[in-house]
Chain A
Amino acid sequence: MAVTAPTAPIETKPATVNDPQVIAEKIKLQYPDAVESASAQGIVVKNNRLPDVARYLHDSPDLAFDYLHNLTSVDWQDRFEVVYHLSSLVRGGAPLVLKVNAAREDPHVPSLVPVYRGADFQEREVYDMMGIRFDGHPYLRRILLWDGFVGHPLRKDYHEPYYEEDKKPFGSRWDKGHHVIAEDRNPWHDNVQYPANFDSTTYQPPRDQIRTIGIEEAKAKKLRTDKIVLNIGPQHPSTHGVLRLKVTIDGETIIAVEPVLGYLHRNHEKIGERNTFLQNMPYTDRLDYVTSMANNLAYAVAVEKLLGIKPPERAEYIRVIMAELTRFVNHILAIGFIYNDLGAFYTPVVYGFEERELILDLFEAASGSRMMCNYIRFGGVARDLPDGFLDKLQYLVNERFPRVTDTLETYLVKNEIFNARARNVGILPRDVAINYSAAGPVLRASGIKYDVRRAEPYSIYDRFEFDIPTGTIGDMHDRFTIRIAEMRASLSILKQAVKQIPAGEIQTGKKNYQARAPKGDAYGRAENPKGELGFYLVGDGGPNPYRYHVRSPAFINLGALNEMARGYKVADLIVILGSVDITMGEVDR
């Protein structure tokens, strides 16, 4: 595998707005009939002209929308709407919203995979959940659910087992009260729906096809070995959750990797649409259970965008402190787990856990729970910091954590075995990383200086001085060291925040447990430790979201795994997976 020479990282300029109306005019010059309408909510593009428009936006040098953040769909009951969030990594700013309508009966939308490879998994997810067919997609197949599943669960007319009402709170719990203890309902009896005429003894799943990417290459080389499909998992001990990797190998060389997902799927998004906005907060803890505070923050950012409220100063500082502590926790575990995957069983992880324990104690003191924090509220935080919290934090960020980070670097980064195995392995070139919509440390390790905290500052991140570390070639070594550099950057933000935190209110207005969102949509995002975590929310005037979608960074980063692992040996695969840093709770949602 050729090693590309290190190049200067791309710099992201601070926020410039991608005004939909201006861009729509530019599209109209090129394709007069492609735009249906343009407003602040986004540009509605004609269904059949979408690939042209996307290609133009992607290739045009002055627009250069080279990055697809998010792809999702909304069921409006009379039609489907597919929503794309695009942005330019060079310009930064809020993403541009493209919308495409599709018929309610037999919906078809042209696939964007030829333009943005990052659309691959996301289009499969939309097909799985909404049943929208993407014409031209190379491998349109269910991704989170099993192949025999009947129906598309995110459609509004789909009712799950034990369906009570469309929206919580259910009237049966109070007013018309009766009680049915959950245990009394037989879980193996009536909560499973099978297709018509289904017989489990004779059911044959559709034949797995080997994905054709890479096989042509092998043919050209006239190799005399046979290709084998190797199933790694589900439940491989050093994968980070229940994941199956279908690996096509030629000898020991990987030809293609296909992640098989959905073992932890619980349809988080449908649950979110049943819940009220506030009720959904504890569910976001369970997305990526290592970084629950940061998930809370990203969700609160999105809902506050929709509701139009702003938290007071002290709450903003508390949020930043919690988010950066989470980043430290996540990265210290991630680097430990990379070592775990390399075969250094548990020693580095446990050293990481030792520091994590102290941070979790702080989380427990503030929020009441160590992992499922449920701490951030819309327009503030749940409760003020307890006594002694800031003193402990001060000691940790000024003395203990810098020392720990230095120690980690000395004994982990300078380890020869690690260097021999991680350098020039699992390279993700810069343009591939962008095209696959990789986010967070994976993107930055490939040399792109893109961070949501800088590109579209949320909360009060525009006040702090901090570095955005970047890698050079995007190999495993870069993805490892970048996490240590980000831990340092987090510590520098924490030091500033602890020094500056003011006294005062922690909640704007009165706490409202049934906040009503106006009609409209909002895409709120935050730089989570694993990448950009985005929430796409559609409000319909009530206390429940009409549509709730999670842009899960780990899910989309996993889409680039095939590119990272192709051409390397099977023994490297688990480490490459470790360097992507996934949590299955977030991938499968």
Chain B
Amino acid sequence: MAFGLGVLRGMSITMSRVIKTYIGDFKHLGKPHDPKTLAERQSVRGSGIFTIQYPEEKLKPQENFRLIPMLLYEPLVDEKTGKPMIDEKTGKEVVASERCTSCGICSKVCPPQCIWIVRATKDGKPQPKSAEFYIDIDVCMNCGMCAEFCPFDSIKMDHDY
């Protein structure tokens, strides 16, 4: 075998990648960042290279995707408009009720121990809700165990990346 043939073969494979990428680009000319285009090029049958201009564009996350835990609540709804009421001081939605019963499982299962809960009390008796609930994002390791083990589906993992 002539010396250098293996190197040339490698080059030809690189060249074919370049061509595949351009074929893909021309196929979706004019709408390179259409969600349909991205889904097709991202799929297992896709070929060639493409770029997503993050953070302007984002791929749709998978359903199981987990990022940061969040506590779910029911907002207080304005009866006239049917929209959640906004607290004027803070600009946030007014919380009507939380699903959390302050059972403490999430704080016991959390590996970096980043969840603190203070149980609510009424007349000295413990109530099945939390007075304070902290998730320290600095030390959260995004493992998703709090959401997995929460018996009341009160914690879910965020999809906003």
Contact = CB atoms under 8 A, between A and B. Distances in A.
A and B interact physically: yes
Interface of A: 168-170, 172-175, 177-179, 181-183, 275, 278-283, 347, 351, 354, 358, 361, 364-369, 372, 374, 382-383, 386, 392, 395-396, 400, 407, 410-412, 414-419, 511, 513-514
B22 interface: no
Contacts of A386: 62-64
Given A374-B144, A414-B9, A513-B149, A174 B44 contact: no
Interface stretch (B24-32, B70-78, B84-92, B116-124): B116-124
B13 A411 contact: yes
A173 B115 contact: yes
Contact of B65 (A168, A368, A372, A382): A368
Contacts of A368: 62, 64-66, 144, 157
A406 to B, nearest CB: 11
Interface in B108-160: 108-111, 113-119, 132, 134, 136, 138-139, 141-145, 148-149, 157
Most buried by B among A173, A351, A410: A173
A569 B121 CA distance: 72
Nearest to A412: B10
Contact of B6 (A170, A282, A416): A416
A368 B159 CA distance: 10
Contacts of B148: 382-383, 511
B79 to A, nearest CB: 35
Given A415-B7, A513-B149, 20 more contacts: A168-B111, A169-B108, A177-B117, A177-B119, A181-B136, A279-B145, A358-B44, A368-B157, A369-B66, A374-B144, A382-B148, A383-B64, A396-B44, A400-B45, A410-B9, A411-B6, A411-B9, A412-B10, A414-B6, A513-B108
A514 to B, nearest CB: 7
A514 B108 contact: yes
A407 B20 CA distance: 15
Contacts of B119: 174-175, 177
Nearest to B134: A179
A134 to B, nearest CB: 34
A372 B104 contact: no
Interface in B1-35: 3-7, 9-10, 13-14, 17
B58 to A, nearest CB: 14
A178 B144 CA distance: 23
A412 B11 CA distance: 11
Contact of B143 (A181, A183, A374, A410): A374
A280 B112 CA distance: 10
Given A177-B132, A395-B44, A415-B6, A279 B141 contact: no
Contacts of B145: 278-279, 282, 374, 513
Given A177-B116, A368-B157, A411-B10, A511 B108 contact: no
A224 B149 CA distance: 69
A418 B119 CA distance: 65
10 contacts: A169-B113, A173-B116, A174-B117, A179-B116, A181-B138, A279-B110, A351-B17, A395-B45, A415-B7, A513-B108
A416 B64 contact: no
A183 B136 CA distance: 9
B111 A365 contact: no
Interface string B30-44: 000000000000101
Contact of A183 (B118, B132, B138): B138
Given A365-B64, A386-B64, A173 B113 contact: yes
A179 to B, nearest CB: 4
A168 B157 contact: no
A178 B143 contact: no
Contacts of A168: 111, 113
A175 B13 contact: no
Given A395-B45, A414-B6, A182 B138 contact: yes
A144 to B, nearest CB: 22
Interface string B92-116: 0000000000001101111101111
A490 B115 CA distance: 40
Contacts of B9: 410-411, 414-415
A533 to B, nearest CB: 20
A369 B141 CA distance: 11
Contacts of B143: 281-282, 372, 374
A143 B142 CA distance: 31
Nearest to A285: B143
Contacts of A178: 116, 118
Contacts of B17: 351
B45 A365 contact: no
Contacts of B13: 407, 410-411
The 7 A-B residue pairs whose C-beta atoms are closest, nearest first, are A282-B143, A368-B66, A174-B104, A179-B116, A279-B111, A411-B10, A368-B64
Nearest to B140: A182
Given A278-B145, A366-B64, A368-B144, A415 B10 contact: yes
Contacts of B7: 415-417
